[in-house]
Amino acid sequence: MLFSTWSFLFFFLIFAAGYSLFRRRPTGRLIWLLAGSYFFYGFMDVRFLLPLMVTTVTDFIAGKGIERGKHPKLFLALSLTVDLGILCTFKYLNFFTENLQSLIDAVGWEWELPSSELLLPVGISFYTFQSLSYTLGVYWKKNRAEHNLLRYAAFVAMFPQILAGPIERAANMLPQLRHTPLIRRVEINDGISLFIVGLFKKAVMADMLAVYVNQVYGDLNAYSSLSVFLAAFFYSWQIYFDFSGYSDMARGVARVLGFRLMLNFDNPYTSVDIRDFWRKWHISLSSWFKDHVYIPMGGGRCVKYRVWWNVMVTMVVSGFWHGAAWNFIIWGALNGIGSILSPRSDRDSWYGKVPRLLRQLMTFLFITVTWVFFKKSTVPEALEVLRRSISFQGGINLIPVVPLILVLIIWVWQLLYDSSYRRFLSLRPVRLGALALILFLLFALSGGSHEQFIYFQF
Amino acid sequence: MYKKKKFVPAANELLFSGRELLSVILPVLVLFLLVLPWWHASWETIELPENFRLPYVNRDNYYLYSRCAALETARSRYLFIGDSAIWGMYAGNSGTIPAQLNRLLKEKCCGNLAIDGLHPVAMRTLVRSFGDAIRGRTVLLYFNPLWVNSPKYDLSASEPFTVNHPELLPQFGAIACYQAGFDKKVGILLDRYVRFFGWKKHLQNYFYRNEDFKSFLVKDHFADPFAPIRRHIVPEEKEHKGTEKNYLTRGIPIQHWEWVPLEKSRQWQALLDTAAILRSRGNQVLVMVGTINPGLLDAETLAGLKKLRLQAADDLKRKGIEAVMFPELEAEFYADASHLLESGYARIAEFLLKEKIIRNGSTAL
């Protein structure tokens, strides 16, 4: 069930009505929240519920086992094995068998490895990491074990964020689930505001840019270098609008129910260097990898080469999290190299003297190049996109003015928000004008072709 | 323990108070749902060509249909409603039954409000939701037996089937063969009942080549997005020029059909409902019971057809609805199973005049 559908609207109205009835009854509220979340998740395919339930029950038992303190490592191993085992079975099995098959073929052996026909449950990477962060948190004593299975199951399956995050932390969400949610006017207004902005990002901007990107990338040789460059530029924004739009809607829905989900995107295309970008892009995942991979490996408190190694491992694993394909691994590696080699505003004084806007543009350009590897499934295809976009070749010159203007307006808005002119954006006429424009475009441009949320595949 | 981070509600200054939301959402809703569709309807002028029929490319533009129906009702005493057999699939604009009648009568008194693929279940919704302007006229409804030639076409089968005009089906009724998703069904109902959505679809269909606006903005990159919209429109069929080729050249095999009994037929019931709706709006209704190319049916099917047509006429008579049986024409007048050639339509037009179904200078049947 997608947020931008009528099914969701009907589901949410029924759910919210029941939720308001049970709001002050803790058990009833949790049962309703869990039932609603399982319905929401199982609506796509009821079989998806099985791995979710196995993950939930395993980590619930593991959390209690770790806290009891007799064999914490054993219980942690149980959690890691089951969670990552399920994730690998559904998501990575075919990747490994295909690569192994290629190796076998290269050696010349006549072995035929079976391929998996399993359907990838939507959002499995998100809820697996959310659940894993709980057991790791208990093991590292960052959070306490939960002793109420209902509450833990509701935490893992909570419908606003189960499909594509934000990947919440137990320490943030479980306390919220323990108390009667505070639902005042401000929560409802904020929730509606977030939802409108998120819907605009997805149903108008992301879907509109997708038309262009799919058209140009679908027949690269027919288009001019400028068009191919523009497709790469638009893809950077498409993926941002798509994913941050989903996050905004998820946060908006949760907010109306009285929950506070973490900010997942902090205007990432205003970043001044690559590390800054990763502090602003998909924050819940970046911070997950930072907390659970980068820091346990030693983080930045090691010798230089060890830090580089830590960064590379973290970024490559992060790339692999996105998808079981080499292009995602390469995308992660490129970001790792970028993080290591690129100058940093907070460390390199000479770089700090470069005009801020120029640093932001350079960072955006680098990120745009990496997105090409994210979008294209093979390295030669990605390199071909890059080659064509700088080769000044002729072809169809497709420059969609209206989408371009809209993207530039939004970019300028974000740059202003990130600058000392931010107060200009808080002026009521400016804010209300923006809301009117958003609603106008939603009415005029939404509907028609819908692209699947990009991050659902992860 | 985990260090709790400060909650950041949003990073864009786009959080609004309830008053702010209302102060923008309400005017925008009024603008889009009320003002724009009504303003555009009065701004846009539609000129119906003399031999108007809803163009094939606009066959699911029901908003346009409703506006054209109002104009056609204003200038014609006799209105023909039916599927492509009346619309004139193999006829030019001047070769359809209403056009030939107008020529024979030397006056513009017959209008063609048929739509390609309009089966009776769809016709019922079309008349109910988009034919409100059809009042005080003589309406000739066409019953094409083709729609009861099997449970599938009768929409009484349960196997999934791609139905013509799904937007005009009962969306949450008991039509088992129509299996659209919930969201699509809700979208269709909004298109049908909220004028804005029907109007938006009209703009897309008539001016933007059926593309959604997002695609248009991308593909017609340098264009002014409003440039395609014209104030004065003339909905004229331009694709179908007519044909002289009859069914023999098409290699259609002999057919055997199991007719659905009318008392169990969903399509027949829908036709009766349509007649009732039209009558409740002060129209005189006459049902034209159609026929099928005899050269394409085996003997058993042909016998069944004769029985079915008689049963239809009886049923209509019992319900107080006037009926006329189309004459059984020879096979060479047919382009396929149910579509006549222009020469066939000429015969039907002559028949309607001879039987005084259509009369010069009179509004009565």
Mean pLDDT score of chain A: 89
One-letter amino acid for residue B263 of the chain? E
The predicted model gives A189-209 an average pLDDT of: 94
**Core vs surface per residue A115-126: b (16+ CB within 10 A) or e:** eeeeebbbbbbb
Give me A200's structure tokens.
């605009």
**Proportion of chain B above pLDDT 90, given as a percent:** 56
Shortest distance, CA B67 to any CA of chain A (angstroms): 22
Residues of chain B with C-beta less than 8 angstroms from the C-beta of A417: 11-13
| pLDDT category of residue B21 using cuts at 50, 70 and 90 | very high
Shortest distance, CA A427 to any CA of chain B (angstroms): 9
Given CB atoms, is A242 within the 8 Å cutoff of chain B?
no
Looking at the predicted structure, is the pLDDT value of residue A254 above 90? yes
Q: CB count, 10 Å around CB of A17?
A: 9
Give the chain A residue whose CA is nearest to the CA of B225.
A402
Angle between helices B195-207 and B62-75 (to 10 degrees): 90
Shortest distance, CA B201 to any CA of chain A (angstroms): 10
| Residue A407 near residue A268, CB atoms below 8 Å | no
Q: What is the DSSP string of B227-244?
A: TT--SEE-----S-----
Given CB atoms, is A13 within the 8 Å cutoff of chain B?
no
Interface contact B187-A434, CB threshold 8 A: no
Q: Which of B187, B199, B259, B254 is nearest to B229 (CA)?
A: B199
Residues of chain A with C-beta less than 8 angstroms from the C-beta of B207: none
Given CB atoms, is A292 within the 8 Å cutoff of chain B?
no
The complex scores an ipTM of: 0.82
Substitution target from B214, B217, B220, B221 for chain A, most A beta carbons within 10 A: B214
The predicted model gives A64-89 an average pLDDT of: 92
Tell me the pTM. Answer: 0.87
| pLDDT category of residue B281 using cuts at 50, 70 and 90 | very high
The DSSP 8-state label assigned to residue A205 in this structure reads I
Chain-centre distance of CA A343, in angstroms?
Answer: 26
**Residues 6 or more apart in contact with residue B348 via CB below 8 angstroms:** B97, B326, B327, B329, B340
| Residue A268 near residue A240, CB atoms below 8 Å | yes
Given CB atoms, is A211 within the 8 Å cutoff of chain B?
yes
One-letter amino acid for residue B360 of the chain? N
Given CB atoms, is B280 within the 8 Å cutoff of chain A?
no
| Residue A165 near residue A126, CB atoms below 8 Å | yes
Range with lowest mean pLDDT among A90-94, A353-357, B42-46, B78-82? A90-94
What is the structure's pLDDT at B225? 82
What is the structure's pLDDT at B1? 44
Nearest to A190 among B15, B200, B204 (CB): B15
What is the structure's pLDDT at B213? 84
What is the structure's pLDDT at A5? 86
Substitution target from A269, A439, A441 for chain B, most B beta carbons within 10 A: A439
Residues of chain B with C-beta less than 8 angstroms from the C-beta of A263: 8-11
Q: What are the residue ranges of helices labelled H in A349-445?
A: 349-352, 356-375, 379-389, 401-417, 422-425, 428-445
What is the structure's pLDDT at B294? 85
| pLDDT category of residue A458 using cuts at 50, 70 and 90 | low
**Which pLDDT tens digit goes with each residue over A256-297?**
999 999 999 999 999 999 999 999 999 999 999 999 999 998
Q: Between the CA of residue A168 and those of A215, A240, A248, A276, A385, what are the distances in Å?
A: 36, 20, 14, 21, 36
A 93-152 residues with CB < 8 A to B: 137, 141-143
Residues of chain B with C-beta less than 8 angstroms from the C-beta of A208: 214, 217-218
What is residue B194's three-state secondary structure?
Answer: coil
Report d(CA B94, CA B342) in Å as an integer: 9
Looking at the predicted structure, is the pLDDT value of residue A396 above 80? no
Look-up of token digits 């939701």: B129
Given CB atoms, is B26 within the 8 Å cutoff of chain A?
no
Substitution target from B3, B13, B189, B199 for chain A, most A beta carbons within 10 A: B13
The predicted model gives B11-29 an average pLDDT of: 92
Q: What is the DSSP string of A207-222?
A: HHHHHHHHHHHHTGGG
Instruction: State residue B110 phi and psi, 5-degree precision.
Output: -115, 135
> What is the signed CA dihedral for A289, A293, A299, A304, rounded to 10 degrees?
-100
Interface contact A444-B213, CB threshold 8 A: yes
Give me B159's structure tokens.
């196997």
| Residue B265 near residue B355, CB atoms below 8 Å | no
Given CB atoms, is B187 within the 8 Å cutoff of chain A?
yes
Residues of chain B with C-beta less than 8 angstroms from the C-beta of A428: 20
Report d(CA A458, CA B19) in Å as an integer: 39
Q: CB count, 10 Å around CB of A36?
A: 22
The DSSP 8-state label assigned to residue A397 in this structure reads -
Give me A198's structure tokens.
């998120």
Residues of chain B with C-beta less than 8 angstroms from the C-beta of A171: 1-2, 4
The predicted model gives A46-60 an average pLDDT of: 94
Residues of chain A with C-beta less than 8 angstroms from the C-beta of B7: 260, 262
Instruction: Tell me whether the omega of the peptide bond preceding residue A160 falls within 30 degrees of 0, making it cis.
Output: no
| pLDDT category of residue A453 using cuts at 50, 70 and 90 | low
| Residue A389 near residue A228, CB atoms below 8 Å | yes
| Residue B199 near residue B36, CB atoms below 8 Å | yes
Interface contact B24-A435, CB threshold 8 A: yes
Residues of chain B with C-beta less than 8 angstroms from the C-beta of A189: 15-18, 21
What is the structure's pLDDT at B212? 82
What is the structure's pLDDT at B332? 84
Q: Tell me which of A144 and A448 has the higher pLDDT.
A: A144
Q: Tell me which of A237 and A385 has the higher pLDDT.
A: A237
Q: Tell me which of A1 and B312 has the higher pLDDT.
A: B312
Assign residue B137 a region (left: φ > 0; alpha: ψ between -120 and 50; beta: otherwise).
beta
Q: Where are the beta strands (DSSP E) in B247-339?
A: 284-289, 322-325
Report d(CA B260, CA B239) in Å as an integer: 34
Q: How many CB pairs under 8 A join A and B?
A: 137
Given CB atoms, is B34 within the 8 Å cutoff of chain A?
no
Residues of chain B with C-beta less than 8 angstroms from the C-beta of A207: 214
Interface contact B11-A263, CB threshold 8 A: yes
**Which pLDDT tens digit goes with each residue over A3-50?**
888 889 999 999 999 998 887 788 898 999 999 999 999 998 899 999
What is the structure's pLDDT at B2? 47
What is the structure's pLDDT at A122? 86
Nearest to A431 among B4, B8, B14 (CB): B14
What is residue A80's three-state secondary structure?
Answer: helix
Residues of chain B with C-beta less than 8 angstroms from the C-beta of A212: 218
Given CB atoms, is B21 within the 8 Å cutoff of chain A?
yes
B 188-227 residues with CB < 8 A to A: 196, 200, 204, 211-215, 217-219, 221-222, 225
**Which pLDDT tens digit goes with each residue over A122-165?**
889 999 999 999 999 999 988 899 999 999 999 999 999 998 87
Residues of chain A with C-beta less than 8 angstroms from the C-beta of B200: 447
**Residues 6 or more apart in contact with residue A411 via CB below 8 angstroms:** A269
Q: Tell me which of B282 and B162 has the higher pLDDT.
A: B282
Substitution target from B221, B222, B224, B226 for chain A, most A beta carbons within 10 A: B221
What is the structure's pLDDT at A361? 94
Q: Which of A136, A133, A187 is nearest to A155 (CA)?
A: A133
What is residue B262's three-state secondary structure?
Answer: helix
Shortest distance, CA A151 to any CA of chain B (angstroms): 19
| pLDDT category of residue A390 using cuts at 50, 70 and 90 | confident
Q: Which contacts qualify for B153-158: CB closer than 8 Å, 24 or more apart?
A: B153/B119, B153/B267, B154/B260, B154/B265, B154/B266, B154/B267, B155/B119, B155/B121, B155/B266, B155/B267, B156/B260, B156/B264, B156/B265, B156/B266
Nearest to B12 among A6, A403, A417 (CB): A417
**Residues 6 or more apart in contact with residue A178 via CB below 8 angstroms:** A26, A151
A322 is catalytic: yes
**Which pLDDT tens digit goes with each residue over B185-233?**
888 898 899 889 999 999 999 998 888 888 888 886 666 788 888 899 9
Report d(CA A70, CA A129) in Å as an integer: 25
Given CB atoms, is B6 within the 8 Å cutoff of chain A?
no
The predicted model gives B306-312 an average pLDDT of: 92
The DSSP 8-state label assigned to residue A152 in this structure reads H
What is the structure's pLDDT at A391? 85
Looking at the predicted structure, is the pLDDT value of residue B356 above 80? no
Given CB atoms, is A376 within the 8 Å cutoff of chain B?
no
Angle between helices A379-389 and A356-375 (to 10 degrees): 140
Give the chain B residue whose CA is nearest to the CA of A133.
B2
Given CB atoms, is B254 within the 8 Å cutoff of chain A?
no
Q: What is the DSSP string of A16-47?
A: HHHHHHHTT-HHHHHHHHHHHHHHHHHTT-GG
Give me A58's structure tokens.
């395993």
What is the structure's pLDDT at B364? 41
**Which pLDDT tens digit goes with each residue over B340-351?**
988 999 999 999
Report d(CA B210, CA A83) in Å as an integer: 47
What is the structure's pLDDT at B242? 65
| pLDDT category of residue A1 using cuts at 50, 70 and 90 | confident
The 3-state secondary structure of B64-125 reads: HHHHHHHHHHHHCCEEEECCHHHHCCCCCCCCCHHHHHHHHHCCCCEEECCCCCCCHHHHHH
Report d(CA B339, CA B271) in Å as an integer: 19
Shortest distance, CA A437 to any CA of chain B (angstroms): 10
What is the structure's pLDDT at B3? 53
Given CB atoms, is A436 within the 8 Å cutoff of chain B?
yes
* Residue of A179, A292, A322, A450 marked catalytic: A322
What is the structure's pLDDT at A352? 78
| pLDDT category of residue B140 using cuts at 50, 70 and 90 | very high
Interface contact A6-B187, CB threshold 8 A: yes
Report d(CA B98, CA B110) in Å as an integer: 5
